[in-house]
Structure 1
Amino acid sequence: MTAGQSNGRRSRREEILDVAVDLFARRGYHGVSMDEIGKAAGVTGPALYHHFSGKESMVAAALIPVSEHLLSASQERIKGAADPATALDALLDFHVEFALENPAVITLHLHELDRLPDEPRREIRRLQRQYVEEWVQVLTELRAELPRPAARVLAHAAFGLMNSTPFIGAELDRDRRATLLRAATKAALLS
Protein backbone atom coordinates (compact mmCIF):
# COMPACT_ATOMS: atom_id res chain seq x y z
CA MET A 1 0.00 0.00 0.00
CA THR A 2 2.68 2.40 -0.95
CA ALA A 3 1.63 5.65 -2.49
CA GLY A 4 2.32 6.08 -6.20
CA GLN A 5 4.08 9.09 -7.62
CA SER A 6 1.93 11.99 -8.70
CA ASN A 7 2.14 11.08 -12.38
CA GLY A 8 0.74 7.62 -11.67
CA ARG A 9 4.08 5.85 -12.10
CA ARG A 10 5.46 3.90 -9.21
CA SER A 11 9.00 4.44 -8.07
CA ARG A 12 11.51 1.62 -8.07
CA ARG A 13 11.58 1.85 -4.28
CA GLU A 14 7.81 1.30 -4.12
CA GLU A 15 8.05 -1.66 -6.47
CA ILE A 16 10.77 -3.25 -4.34
CA LEU A 17 8.78 -2.60 -1.19
CA ASP A 18 5.69 -4.26 -2.66
CA VAL A 19 7.74 -7.34 -3.55
CA ALA A 20 9.24 -7.45 -0.04
CA VAL A 21 5.83 -7.08 1.65
CA ASP A 22 4.42 -9.90 -0.44
CA LEU A 23 7.36 -12.19 0.33
CA PHE A 24 7.25 -11.38 4.06
CA ALA A 25 3.51 -12.02 4.14
CA ARG A 26 3.86 -15.38 2.41
CA ARG A 27 7.07 -16.70 3.98
CA GLY A 28 7.67 -14.63 7.12
CA TYR A 29 10.40 -12.21 8.01
CA HIS A 30 13.00 -14.88 8.71
CA GLY A 31 11.94 -16.92 5.69
CA VAL A 32 13.14 -14.30 3.21
CA SER A 33 16.66 -13.00 2.58
CA MET A 34 17.65 -9.67 1.09
CA ASP A 35 19.08 -11.57 -1.88
CA GLU A 36 15.71 -13.22 -2.49
CA ILE A 37 13.94 -9.88 -2.31
CA GLY A 38 16.42 -8.38 -4.77
CA LYS A 39 16.06 -11.31 -7.14
CA ALA A 40 12.24 -11.20 -7.00
CA ALA A 41 12.31 -7.44 -7.58
CA GLY A 42 14.86 -7.75 -10.38
CA VAL A 43 17.54 -5.66 -8.72
CA THR A 44 21.10 -6.32 -7.62
CA GLY A 45 22.28 -6.17 -4.03
CA PRO A 46 23.80 -2.69 -4.30
CA ALA A 47 20.63 -1.35 -5.91
CA LEU A 48 18.53 -2.91 -3.16
CA TYR A 49 20.71 -1.39 -0.44
CA HIS A 50 20.49 1.97 -2.21
CA HIS A 51 16.79 2.00 -1.23
CA PHE A 52 16.76 0.08 2.07
CA SER A 53 19.32 -0.63 4.77
CA GLY A 54 17.81 -4.06 5.45
CA LYS A 55 14.66 -6.01 6.12
CA GLU A 56 13.76 -4.00 9.22
CA SER A 57 13.80 -0.79 7.21
CA MET A 58 11.51 -2.42 4.63
CA VAL A 59 8.97 -3.41 7.27
CA ALA A 60 9.05 0.09 8.76
CA ALA A 61 8.80 1.66 5.28
CA ALA A 62 5.69 -0.42 4.63
CA LEU A 63 3.91 -0.01 7.96
CA ILE A 64 4.50 3.62 8.92
CA PRO A 65 2.95 5.14 5.76
CA VAL A 66 0.04 2.71 5.98
CA SER A 67 -0.62 3.73 9.59
CA GLU A 68 -0.39 7.41 8.63
CA HIS A 69 -2.78 6.82 5.74
CA LEU A 70 -5.34 5.00 7.91
CA LEU A 71 -5.33 7.86 10.40
CA SER A 72 -5.52 10.73 7.92
CA ALA A 73 -8.14 9.03 5.75
CA SER A 74 -10.32 8.28 8.77
CA GLN A 75 -10.09 11.90 9.91
CA GLU A 76 -11.12 13.10 6.44
CA ARG A 77 -14.12 10.78 6.35
CA ILE A 78 -15.29 11.79 9.81
CA LYS A 79 -14.85 15.47 9.01
CA GLY A 80 -16.90 15.07 5.83
CA ALA A 81 -19.76 13.18 7.51
CA ALA A 82 -23.03 14.87 8.37
CA ASP A 83 -23.55 12.85 11.55
CA PRO A 84 -22.03 9.95 13.54
CA ALA A 85 -24.03 7.29 11.66
CA THR A 86 -22.73 8.58 8.33
CA ALA A 87 -19.22 8.79 9.79
CA LEU A 88 -19.40 5.16 10.91
CA ASP A 89 -20.53 4.04 7.46
CA ALA A 90 -17.69 6.02 5.87
CA LEU A 91 -15.16 4.45 8.25
CA LEU A 92 -16.49 0.98 7.55
CA ASP A 93 -16.42 1.47 3.78
CA PHE A 94 -12.89 2.84 3.94
CA HIS A 95 -11.41 0.16 6.18
CA VAL A 96 -13.09 -2.75 4.40
CA GLU A 97 -11.76 -1.49 1.07
CA PHE A 98 -8.32 -1.02 2.57
CA ALA A 99 -8.35 -4.54 4.03
CA LEU A 100 -9.47 -6.13 0.77
CA GLU A 101 -6.81 -4.25 -1.19
CA ASN A 102 -3.96 -4.89 1.25
CA PRO A 103 -4.06 -8.40 2.74
CA ALA A 104 -0.25 -8.72 2.55
CA VAL A 105 0.22 -5.50 4.53
CA ILE A 106 -2.22 -6.76 7.16
CA THR A 107 -0.34 -10.05 7.38
CA LEU A 108 2.96 -8.18 7.66
CA HIS A 109 1.57 -6.06 10.46
CA LEU A 110 0.08 -9.00 12.35
CA HIS A 111 3.17 -11.16 12.20
CA GLU A 112 6.19 -8.89 11.85
CA LEU A 113 5.56 -5.60 13.69
CA ASP A 114 7.35 -6.80 16.81
CA ARG A 115 10.53 -7.42 14.79
CA LEU A 116 11.02 -3.69 14.36
CA PRO A 117 13.37 -1.66 16.53
CA ASP A 118 11.72 0.31 19.32
CA GLU A 119 11.39 3.67 17.59
CA PRO A 120 9.54 2.70 14.41
CA ARG A 121 7.41 0.21 16.37
CA ARG A 122 6.46 2.95 18.88
CA GLU A 123 5.58 5.32 16.03
CA ILE A 124 3.35 2.72 14.37
CA ARG A 125 1.64 1.93 17.68
CA ARG A 126 1.10 5.65 18.35
CA LEU A 127 -0.54 6.10 14.95
CA GLN A 128 -2.66 3.00 15.51
CA ARG A 129 -3.86 4.26 18.90
CA GLN A 130 -4.89 7.53 17.26
CA TYR A 131 -6.74 5.60 14.55
CA VAL A 132 -8.58 3.56 17.17
CA GLU A 133 -9.55 6.74 19.00
CA GLU A 134 -11.14 8.13 15.82
CA TRP A 135 -13.43 5.09 15.81
CA VAL A 136 -14.03 5.36 19.56
CA GLN A 137 -15.13 8.97 19.19
CA VAL A 138 -17.62 8.11 16.46
CA LEU A 139 -18.96 5.13 18.42
CA THR A 140 -19.47 7.13 21.61
CA GLU A 141 -21.22 9.90 19.67
CA LEU A 142 -23.45 7.32 18.00
CA ARG A 143 -24.08 5.33 21.17
CA ALA A 144 -24.28 7.70 24.14
CA GLU A 145 -24.64 4.79 26.58
CA LEU A 146 -21.30 3.33 25.52
CA PRO A 147 -18.32 4.18 27.74
CA ARG A 148 -15.05 4.86 25.93
CA PRO A 149 -13.33 1.67 27.19
CA ALA A 150 -16.21 -0.43 25.80
CA ALA A 151 -16.10 1.50 22.52
CA ARG A 152 -12.38 0.76 22.34
CA VAL A 153 -13.03 -2.97 22.76
CA LEU A 154 -15.63 -2.82 19.99
CA ALA A 155 -13.26 -0.91 17.70
CA HIS A 156 -10.57 -3.54 18.15
CA ALA A 157 -13.11 -6.29 17.52
CA ALA A 158 -14.17 -4.49 14.35
CA PHE A 159 -10.58 -4.40 13.14
CA GLY A 160 -10.33 -8.13 13.80
CA LEU A 161 -13.31 -8.74 11.55
CA MET A 162 -12.22 -6.40 8.79
CA ASN A 163 -8.56 -7.44 8.94
CA SER A 164 -9.48 -11.08 8.46
CA THR A 165 -9.07 -10.62 4.70
CA PRO A 166 -5.72 -12.48 4.48
CA PHE A 167 -7.49 -15.54 5.85
CA ILE A 168 -10.60 -15.41 3.67
CA GLY A 169 -10.59 -17.50 0.52
CA ALA A 170 -11.80 -16.24 -2.82
CA GLU A 171 -14.86 -18.52 -2.91
CA LEU A 172 -16.99 -15.38 -2.95
CA ASP A 173 -16.38 -12.49 -5.27
CA ARG A 174 -14.81 -9.36 -3.89
CA ASP A 175 -18.04 -7.32 -3.75
CA ARG A 176 -19.82 -10.02 -1.78
CA ARG A 177 -16.91 -10.31 0.65
CA ALA A 178 -16.96 -6.53 1.12
CA THR A 179 -20.71 -6.55 1.77
CA LEU A 180 -20.42 -9.34 4.32
CA LEU A 181 -17.47 -7.74 6.10
CA ARG A 182 -19.25 -4.37 6.32
CA ALA A 183 -22.49 -5.93 7.59
CA ALA A 184 -20.79 -8.17 10.17
CA THR A 185 -18.61 -5.37 11.45
CA LYS A 186 -21.47 -2.88 11.68
CA ALA A 187 -23.62 -5.41 13.52
CA ALA A 188 -20.80 -6.05 16.00
CA LEU A 189 -20.32 -2.33 16.61
CA LEU A 190 -23.99 -1.57 17.12
CA SER A 191 -24.96 -4.59 19.24
Structure 2
Amino acid sequence: MNSTNSALSRRDQILREAARLFAERGFHGVGVDEIGAAVGISGPGLYRHFAGKDAMLAELLVGISGRLLTAGRRRVAEAAGPEQALNALIRGHIDFAIDDRPLITLHDRELDRLRESDRKLVRQLQRQYVEVWVGVVGAVHPDATEREVRTAVHAVFGLLNSTPHLGAQAVLASRAGMSELLRKLALGALGALDSAQDWRVTY
Protein backbone atom coordinates (compact mmCIF):
# COMPACT_ATOMS: atom_id res chain seq x y z
CA MET A 1 0.00 0.00 0.00
CA ASN A 2 2.73 2.46 0.97
CA SER A 3 4.80 1.58 -2.10
CA THR A 4 1.80 2.26 -4.34
CA ASN A 5 1.19 5.66 -2.75
CA SER A 6 4.90 6.44 -3.05
CA ALA A 7 4.88 5.50 -6.74
CA LEU A 8 1.84 7.67 -7.40
CA SER A 9 3.46 10.59 -5.57
CA ARG A 10 6.63 10.21 -7.61
CA ARG A 11 4.63 10.03 -10.82
CA ASP A 12 2.81 13.23 -9.93
CA GLN A 13 6.12 14.93 -9.15
CA ILE A 14 7.49 13.92 -12.54
CA LEU A 15 4.42 15.27 -14.33
CA ARG A 16 4.50 18.55 -12.41
CA GLU A 17 8.16 19.17 -13.18
CA ALA A 18 7.77 18.05 -16.79
CA ALA A 19 4.90 20.52 -17.24
CA ARG A 20 6.95 23.34 -15.75
CA LEU A 21 10.02 22.62 -17.87
CA PHE A 22 8.06 22.04 -21.08
CA ALA A 23 6.22 25.33 -20.55
CA GLU A 24 9.41 27.26 -19.82
CA ARG A 25 11.65 25.86 -22.55
CA GLY A 26 9.47 24.00 -25.01
CA PHE A 27 8.95 20.27 -25.42
CA HIS A 28 12.05 19.75 -27.55
CA GLY A 29 14.15 22.00 -25.34
CA VAL A 30 13.95 19.65 -22.35
CA GLY A 31 15.70 16.31 -21.99
CA VAL A 32 14.67 13.31 -19.93
CA ASP A 33 17.77 13.74 -17.77
CA GLU A 34 16.70 17.28 -16.85
CA ILE A 35 13.23 16.14 -15.82
CA GLY A 36 14.79 13.39 -13.73
CA ALA A 37 17.18 15.84 -12.07
CA ALA A 38 14.26 18.09 -11.15
CA VAL A 39 12.68 15.27 -9.12
CA GLY A 40 15.90 13.76 -7.85
CA ILE A 41 16.12 10.60 -9.95
CA SER A 42 18.21 9.58 -12.94
CA GLY A 43 16.86 10.13 -16.43
CA PRO A 44 16.64 6.40 -17.15
CA GLY A 45 14.73 6.01 -13.88
CA LEU A 46 11.87 7.96 -15.44
CA TYR A 47 11.22 5.06 -17.76
CA ARG A 48 9.89 3.07 -14.81
CA HIS A 49 7.00 5.54 -14.79
CA PHE A 50 6.66 6.74 -18.40
CA ALA A 51 7.63 5.39 -21.80
CA GLY A 52 9.14 8.78 -22.67
CA LYS A 53 8.50 12.48 -23.02
CA ASP A 54 5.66 11.90 -25.48
CA ALA A 55 3.83 9.83 -22.88
CA MET A 56 4.31 12.56 -20.26
CA LEU A 57 2.93 15.22 -22.57
CA ALA A 58 -0.07 13.06 -23.47
CA GLU A 59 -0.87 12.33 -19.84
CA LEU A 60 -0.57 16.00 -18.94
CA LEU A 61 -2.90 17.28 -21.66
CA VAL A 62 -5.39 14.41 -21.68
CA GLY A 63 -5.33 14.32 -17.90
CA ILE A 64 -6.14 17.98 -17.31
CA SER A 65 -8.90 17.92 -19.94
CA GLY A 66 -10.47 14.95 -18.21
CA ARG A 67 -10.16 16.48 -14.76
CA LEU A 68 -11.76 19.75 -15.85
CA LEU A 69 -14.69 17.88 -17.35
CA THR A 70 -15.19 15.61 -14.33
CA ALA A 71 -14.95 18.49 -11.87
CA GLY A 72 -17.25 20.66 -13.98
CA ARG A 73 -19.94 18.00 -14.12
CA ARG A 74 -19.62 17.42 -10.39
CA ARG A 75 -19.98 21.11 -9.59
CA VAL A 76 -23.11 21.38 -11.71
CA ALA A 77 -24.62 18.26 -10.15
CA GLU A 78 -23.97 19.55 -6.62
CA ALA A 79 -25.28 23.08 -7.26
CA ALA A 80 -28.69 24.18 -6.02
CA GLY A 81 -29.51 25.87 -9.33
CA PRO A 82 -28.06 27.35 -12.55
CA GLU A 83 -26.63 30.50 -10.95
CA GLN A 84 -24.92 28.52 -8.21
CA ALA A 85 -23.62 26.10 -10.85
CA LEU A 86 -22.21 28.96 -12.91
CA ASN A 87 -20.47 30.46 -9.89
CA ALA A 88 -18.98 27.06 -9.08
CA LEU A 89 -17.77 26.59 -12.67
CA ILE A 90 -16.14 30.02 -12.65
CA ARG A 91 -14.43 29.40 -9.31
CA GLY A 92 -13.20 26.00 -10.45
CA HIS A 93 -11.79 27.27 -13.72
CA ILE A 94 -10.11 30.19 -11.98
CA ASP A 95 -8.36 27.75 -9.63
CA PHE A 96 -7.17 25.81 -12.67
CA ALA A 97 -6.03 28.95 -14.48
CA ILE A 98 -3.99 30.12 -11.49
CA ASP A 99 -2.63 26.80 -10.23
CA ASP A 100 -1.99 25.06 -13.56
CA ARG A 101 -0.64 27.83 -15.74
CA PRO A 102 2.05 25.59 -17.30
CA LEU A 103 -0.68 23.29 -18.64
CA ILE A 104 -2.37 26.20 -20.40
CA THR A 105 0.94 27.06 -22.04
CA LEU A 106 1.49 23.43 -23.00
CA HIS A 107 -1.93 23.19 -24.59
CA ASP A 108 -1.34 26.33 -26.64
CA ARG A 109 2.15 25.36 -27.80
CA GLU A 110 2.40 21.60 -27.81
CA LEU A 111 -1.02 20.08 -28.51
CA ASP A 112 -0.06 19.33 -32.11
CA ARG A 113 2.83 17.17 -30.89
CA LEU A 114 0.43 14.58 -29.48
CA ARG A 115 -0.32 11.54 -31.59
CA GLU A 116 -3.60 11.87 -33.43
CA SER A 117 -5.61 9.62 -31.12
CA ASP A 118 -4.55 11.57 -28.00
CA ARG A 119 -5.16 14.90 -29.71
CA LYS A 120 -8.67 13.80 -30.69
CA LEU A 121 -9.34 12.70 -27.13
CA VAL A 122 -8.25 16.08 -25.77
CA ARG A 123 -10.54 17.84 -28.24
CA GLN A 124 -13.43 15.53 -27.37
CA LEU A 125 -13.04 16.15 -23.64
CA GLN A 126 -12.79 19.89 -24.24
CA ARG A 127 -15.95 19.95 -26.34
CA GLN A 128 -17.80 18.13 -23.59
CA TYR A 129 -16.49 20.64 -21.04
CA VAL A 130 -17.70 23.50 -23.22
CA GLU A 131 -21.13 21.87 -23.38
CA VAL A 132 -21.30 21.79 -19.57
CA TRP A 133 -20.74 25.55 -19.53
CA VAL A 134 -23.10 26.21 -22.44
CA GLY A 135 -25.90 24.35 -20.69
CA VAL A 136 -25.46 26.30 -17.47
CA VAL A 137 -24.94 29.71 -19.08
CA GLY A 138 -27.97 29.12 -21.31
CA ALA A 139 -30.08 28.36 -18.25
CA VAL A 140 -28.90 31.55 -16.51
CA HIS A 141 -29.47 33.64 -19.67
CA PRO A 142 -32.52 32.04 -21.33
CA ASP A 143 -33.10 35.01 -23.68
CA ALA A 144 -29.69 34.69 -25.32
CA THR A 145 -29.30 32.70 -28.50
CA GLU A 146 -27.16 29.58 -28.52
CA ARG A 147 -24.57 31.37 -30.63
CA GLU A 148 -24.39 34.22 -28.15
CA VAL A 149 -24.04 31.79 -25.26
CA ARG A 150 -21.22 29.89 -26.98
CA THR A 151 -19.45 33.11 -27.87
CA ALA A 152 -19.67 34.29 -24.26
CA VAL A 153 -18.39 30.96 -22.92
CA HIS A 154 -15.36 31.03 -25.20
CA ALA A 155 -14.74 34.66 -24.24
CA VAL A 156 -14.69 33.63 -20.59
CA PHE A 157 -12.21 30.84 -21.32
CA GLY A 158 -10.00 33.31 -23.17
CA LEU A 159 -10.02 35.70 -20.23
CA LEU A 160 -9.43 33.08 -17.55
CA ASN A 161 -6.77 31.25 -19.53
CA SER A 162 -4.73 34.44 -19.94
CA THR A 163 -2.87 33.85 -16.66
CA PRO A 164 0.36 32.52 -18.28
CA HIS A 165 0.79 35.95 -19.89
CA LEU A 166 0.59 37.76 -16.56
CA GLY A 167 3.81 36.32 -15.14
CA ALA A 168 4.11 33.96 -12.20
CA GLN A 169 5.11 36.66 -9.72
CA ALA A 170 2.14 38.84 -10.62
CA VAL A 171 -0.25 35.94 -10.08
CA LEU A 172 1.33 34.57 -6.93
CA ALA A 173 1.83 37.98 -5.30
CA SER A 174 -1.87 38.20 -4.59
CA ARG A 175 -3.68 35.00 -5.42
CA ALA A 176 -6.89 36.20 -3.80
CA GLY A 177 -6.74 39.49 -5.68
CA MET A 178 -6.07 37.76 -8.98
CA SER A 179 -8.90 35.31 -8.37
CA GLU A 180 -11.31 38.16 -7.69
CA LEU A 181 -10.17 40.06 -10.79
CA LEU A 182 -10.67 37.00 -12.99
CA ARG A 183 -14.08 36.40 -11.46
CA LYS A 184 -15.16 39.95 -12.26
CA LEU A 185 -13.86 39.67 -15.83
CA ALA A 186 -15.76 36.41 -16.33
CA LEU A 187 -18.97 37.82 -14.92
CA GLY A 188 -18.54 40.91 -17.06
CA ALA A 189 -18.23 38.83 -20.21
CA LEU A 190 -21.29 36.80 -19.30
CA GLY A 191 -23.18 39.90 -18.19
CA ALA A 192 -23.11 41.13 -21.78
CA LEU A 193 -25.73 38.48 -22.49
CA ASP A 194 -28.22 40.43 -20.37
CA SER A 195 -28.41 43.13 -23.04
CA ALA A 196 -28.16 40.78 -26.02
CA GLN A 197 -31.88 40.82 -26.71
CA ASP A 198 -32.07 44.64 -26.57
CA TRP A 199 -29.10 44.85 -28.93
CA ARG A 200 -30.81 42.58 -31.45
CA VAL A 201 -34.00 44.66 -31.33
CA THR A 202 -32.26 48.04 -31.49
CA TYR A 203 -29.79 47.25 -34.23
Among 99, 116, 119, which residue is 2:117 paired with?
A: 119
What is the CA–CA distance in structure 2 between the aligned matches of 1:9 and 1:54, rounded to whole Å?
A: 17
Residues 21 and 184 of structure 1: CA distance in aligned 2, closer, same or farther (over 3 Å) = same
What is the CA–CA distance in structure 2 between the aligned matches of 1:6 and 1:68, rounded to whole Å?
A: 22
Among 153, 163, 168, which residue is 2:151 paired with?
A: 153
Residues 31 and 148 of structure 1: CA distance in aligned 2, closer, same or farther (over 3 Å) = same
What is the CA–CA distance in structure 1 between the aligned matches of 2:7 and 2:191, rounded to whole Å?
A: 41
| 1:153 match: secondary structure | helix
Q: How many residues are treated as equivalent by the alignment?
A: 187
Partner of 1:73: 71
Q: Report deviation, 1:9.
A: 8.8
Among 11, 17, 20, which residue is 1:22 paired with?
A: 20
Q: List, as ranges, runs of 4+ consecutive aligned residues in structure 1 with deviation greater than 3 Å.
A: 5-10, 169-172
What is the CA–CA distance in structure 2 between the aligned matches of 1:83 and 1:113, rounded to whole Å?
A: 35
TM-score by length of 2: 0.85
Partner of 2:162: 164
Q: Report deviation, 1:148.
A: 2.0
Residues 134 and 8 of structure 1: CA distance in aligned 2, closer, same or farther (over 3 Å) = farther
What is the CA–CA distance in structure 1 between the aligned matches of 2:114 and 2:46, rounded to whole Å?
A: 19
| 1:16 match: secondary structure | helix
The 5-angstrom pairing of residues 121-136 of structure 1 reads 121-136=119-134
- Say whether residues 1:188 and 2:189 are aligned partners: yes
Rg larger for = 2
Residues 82 and 164 of structure 1: CA distance in aligned 2, closer, same or farther (over 3 Å) = same
Q: Report deviation, 1:6.
A: 9.8
Give percent identity, aligned residues only.
45
| 2:27 match: secondary structure | coil
TM-score by length of 1: 0.90
- Say whether residues 1:46 and 2:44 are aligned partners: yes
Higher helix share: 2
Gaps of 5+ in 2: 193-203
Partner of 1:101: 99
| 1:135 match: secondary structure | helix
